[in-house]
Structure 1
Amino acid sequence: MNIPELPQSPDSNSPSPGRILAERQNGVPMLARPREQPLFEEESEEDALDLRELWQVILKRRWTILIFTLIVVTAVVTATYLKTPIYRAVLTLQIDREDIKILQVGEVSPGETGGWNNQDYYQTQYELLKSRSLAQRVINQLGLADLPPPPPSSLAQLKQWLAAWLPKTDDAKPEPPSENGRIEGLISGFLGGLTVEPVRNSRLIKLYYDSPYPKQAATILNTLAKSYISLNLERRFDATTYARNFLQERLQQVKVKLEESERGLVEFSRQEQIFTIGDKGSIVGQNLEATNAALGEAEKRRIATEAVYRQMLGTRQGLSQVLDSKIIQDLKQSKAKLEAQYQDNLSIYKPAYPTMVQLRNQISQVDSMIGQEIGNIRAAIAASYEAAKAEEALLRANLDRLKQEVLTQQDRSIQFNILRREVDTNRQLYDGLLQRFKEVGVAAGVGTNNISIVDEAKAPSFPYKPNLRLNATLALVLGLLGGIGLAFLFEHLDDTFRKPEDLEKLLGLPVLGMIPMLKQARGDERAIALIGHDDPRSAFAEAYRSVRTALQFSTASGVPRLLAVTSAMVSEGKSTTAISLAIQFAQAGKRTLLVEADLRKPSLHKALQLDNQTGLTNYLAGGEVHPANITRPTHISNLFAIPSGPLPPNPADLLSSGRMVELLTLAAEKFDQVVLDSPPLLGLADGLIVGNLCEGILLAVEMGSTPRGCVQGAFKRLRGARVHVLGTILTKLEARPGAYGYYRSYYYYYHTDYYGETTPDTKKLLVEGMKAEA
């Protein structure tokens, strides 16, 4: 393998580094800068929810979900076992609608159901069942105040034990509660165990009572129901007795007032001679109403006849009565026939012929008959109009007379109306009180009750709570939901790149390739790039061949001759990418030079097993070192490399010197492809200097590891230094459940029987990918 001859190093009178960098377009062949584009594109929200992506997140974070679920289920099951079992007794009550109402405003029939009043009634009964007075009554009957409190549960004992170990801030002991406070606490505890649940669309009510003792729970419910029924009977009896006494007194008073008002009304009507017929009012008033109605009808008829009459005065034969007259229509038809016959005979006879004269006389006779009939119709219209006027005048005169009579009677009926209204009011009040008194009398026998016990409470055999199966199921569901939520929270907080679309949206650059992670076998000390070289059918080698193909279309002139590879941070695979791309270019038949431009942490000489005693730094430092002396062949055909050499104290100054520009210019002339391994961008100026010396630069980003802010800052530095960024490469892609689905398809397409065989590494990737897809 021959090393290409390189020109001697320039003399010491070379221009200054700043001048060389400013005028480097005359030395290193550079491509035209692309048109400025926006730094970062705004991320747009997905139009549709990607269920496959959500499933991949669940697979990726499955251990987080399982551990969180296990913790929740364990905690809930443990707390369930430590709690005291509570037994629940059940009793069913039937409450019918109350069948008596006393002096309600408005009319409510007995046994009415539905409506707001019905809801209010039942809601009142529910609150009475939960009243403190009823609770105290049951407590007194059963003597619950004298019973000892139930023993604390294991969980409560654990809390007390923990509280005993905690430091106490106050040594003062709490004062014991007073007797009233103890009774109030007992009532509150009693009501805390009681539950009132109405059965929907029925008159049944379920009563539940929770207690650590099953027999006590049943006894309390049965006693509560009986006390509630007794209390209801007492309330009904008291209400009925009070209502009867009250209504009886009011009836006597209203009866006396009604009799006095009726006598006064009859005596006044006799004195004033005011006659009425039932509820229709006086006779004069009825006549006035009838006359007023008749006058209205007469006015309608007069207006109608007047309209016809005025139309008659304006026309002679255009009246509707004339046009609709059967006689006139028959006469016009006869006239038409005679005129037609006359015209037919006129072609034969002369007008003086007797037949013609006779026809003319007949036509004249029909005309006179038509005129006579029209005159009769007009006379009838005029007569109707005059009759309607006369009728209206008579009715109007009669109406005026009746109005005067009514006004005279109204003057005399003021006191009469007052007396009549008083009589009506007293009669209505008396009828209402009498009806209510009879209803109360019928309901006075309170032997029947509207509340009954349907099913008495029995001592439960099994505890109601805690329900281990229910709690475990709820804990499992909540744990899974919480674990999934926690997984999505972690995924949301993950600021790395999980898909190439994320990188493309953030930077506005294409992703030229996706490189899978290649794990080394135990005892294998070869560089990863060389492992991919030794297995050309592996997914790793194929991924870099894809990047090489993409670079051919990155510019109008193909692959940039001077190409640099960099990354935002260390350990993102930029050196492996530089070596692998150089290998791919060499395998494609290009004479390729690999330059180790990372003068702070070089690694290419170790990967290619080259001597690093002399290298790039020896040449850049201005020594008498020829470029051919630092260019070394490798064991790979067409691939040459320049190692870094000894580490300098000022790498940035050396990289920005004029000797670096001259070296790259000479390398671009002697080699088909030059690849530079550039230092990381963040915190260092070396990468920006190398990027400006090259025609294009590739940005390597480690998938799932590099934060977005670091990549964004690195790209901003590149754009600020006007470095031509060709695109990005996603490295260290893991073929595991939860990884991006496209890559598994990628491996499958290129590394199955399509090539005739499958390598062991590829088989492993395929198996893992198929499992994840399933």
Structure 2
Amino acid sequence: MQEADEFLTSQRTSPPDEGTSLGEHLASLLEYRNVILGFALGMAVLGLVYALIAKPAYESNILVQVEENGNSIGSALGDLASMFELKTASTTEIEILRSRMILGPTVDAVHLDIDARPKYLPLLGRFLASHLPVPVSAAARFNLPSYAWGPEAIEVTKMEVPSAYNGAIWTLVTQLGGKYNLLSPDGDLVVENAEVGREIQATTSAGPIAITVSRLVGRPGSKFQLVRSKRLDVINRLQNSLNISEQGKDSGIISTVWRSDDPRKTQAVLNEIGRLYVKQNIDRKSAEADNMIQFLDHQLPGLKENLKEAETKYNNYRTKNAIVDLPLEAQTLLNEVVQAEVQKSQLVLQRDQLLQRFTPQHPNVDAVNRQLDTVNAQLDSFNQRLKAIPSNEQDVVGLARDAMVSQEIYTTLLNNVEQLRVLKAGKTGNVRLLDDAENNTVPVWPRPGLIMLVATTLGLFLGAGAAFGLKALRSGIEDPNEVEERFGLPVYATVPHSDQQSSLGRIERSAATDAPLLANSSPNDLAVEAIRGLRTALQFAEFDARNNVVMLTGPAPGVGKSFISINLAVLMANTGKRILLIDGDLRRGYLHRYVGETRESGLTELIRSGGDRTSIIRKDKLVKGLDFIPTGQLPPNAAELLLHPNFEAVLKELSAEYDNVIIDTSPVLAVTDPAIIGRLAGVTLLVLRFGANPVREVELAVKQLRQCGSPLKGVVFNDFPLNTGGYAYGKYKYAYQYEYAPRH
């Protein structure tokens, strides 16, 4: 007995090594790989469908350059207007490009607030029309002429509707001769047999409308959908959809990108934005030049009078005093004074111009004032030097200074006025359009490859989430060691999952009358090897058994007890023993199909008659030494039949004739049959399936078997996945009721 106990202990499943959290997650992913692959495949199919039915998007762009110093007012005025040439930051130009001042006229010029397009069949209609077009002259596909199937096209250059109909869908129906009918959003016929190219005016219940269809291509009966949107809403959408950015830091090159479902409209919108942007820049520079011209024109008459007066005084003084030339020192001082006076006059003009645009506290005005202070200090120094020369020379220098300063200022401003007039007439600004928008007929979206990749990746993540969710919801025992710890029952065998048995199981569940047997078809399968271990363990378990009858049952259907029973019987018979296999599942047993027999003349008839067994027992049907008794005709009162005294008597006789009698019974929680048979058996084995039997279910099954006196020796843990380490899930309390209908 000590040797037997040691052997049984060695046959128990040792506690699995605790793996890392990553290992557990990988095991779950491998276990539910079919679920994950299903999600990935499903999402890939959805991605493909989306790529086929998605509305194509066409993209184009324009490039503009913002020049720091171009043909501007500053270059025309030179030093005089250096304070007026303020560099415009690229961020400012970007906001100008995005402003309603630019986008509003663009919407009007391109008729962007009018959306007119053919009506396509839902989902695949656009794809069929673009990839498998049907000529307008041919019959419509699927006999649906109202939908667009090919090169149908429409262009509406004017559409004015009452505000109540903004955003509503109007329907245009083509007629014979290129004419059309127009239906309101309410379904009323508003325009009938209108001609293309003419402005049509009509009246609706909400007010008058006006429409001009400049181009219409379609078979009679084709429908087009027209939508007139609110202008401000279209501008806002255009502002949000434009992608405007500077190409490189401080490059002054600005890119404007836009995409839509119409390549021609994309090109037209961007080119109009570029044209209007350059035009507003030129208009702004021209306005600045015009303002400067007006300011200088106002200053010139006074300067001219000052010049005449200064020259007259200077000439009269020279004539009266017979002065020809000034001494060298006085001439040098005169030149320095004149330069300072001219600079002062220019600064005063700059300050006056700035004060028309800014307050006296503005930084630019303050900078001019500081320069004026410096020039005035220089003039004070020059005046002190003038006092050192003779008095007659002082008078000449003073008069000459006034004349020369007036001449210099007047000449400079006169030249500047002429240059500004040339600048204004030239219509140039400091921005230019580098690249026009091109008509890009290749859509940038959808991109099938990218969509498929993203969809498949998303499917993998969703599948992984579903796998973890299913794992968390599964309440069955997954660790054989948990059975031993909770119920004190040894695990006689851990039978791994067999892909070969899964294939055979599909045949087993079919209508075939001859189901293959794993022990015969794949004797080296790992599951078969585990059942061989069970065979060895049973030899020692029978040492203290009251008889050689082995009963196999399970808590619920689907645990694989019939699979274990018949394969165990075959393997025991292969050792030379005489084995009798009885299909004791009088509810829906089907072991007869493994031996190519029918269920007639079996255990039911044997119990009822208690007579001759020669016609009941099937001899050597699978292997030599293995006999078999089927269920017989399934009785309506199986439990009462098993309680008949004949059953116990027959079982004792059979036990004496064979080395072992193996009985496959019904699930113990489904019916009472196993409890009745178990009290007559010497060894009872409870078959569990990996992840299929919650703790509470196993607890109830063990309790019921023990209460009826069944010698429950241990557990067979079936269908254990090779890629899973087995993890415990705690206690679960459920009520278990199973439908256990007969299988014929």
TM-score by length of 1: 0.48
RCO higher in structure (CA 8 A, sep ≥6): 1
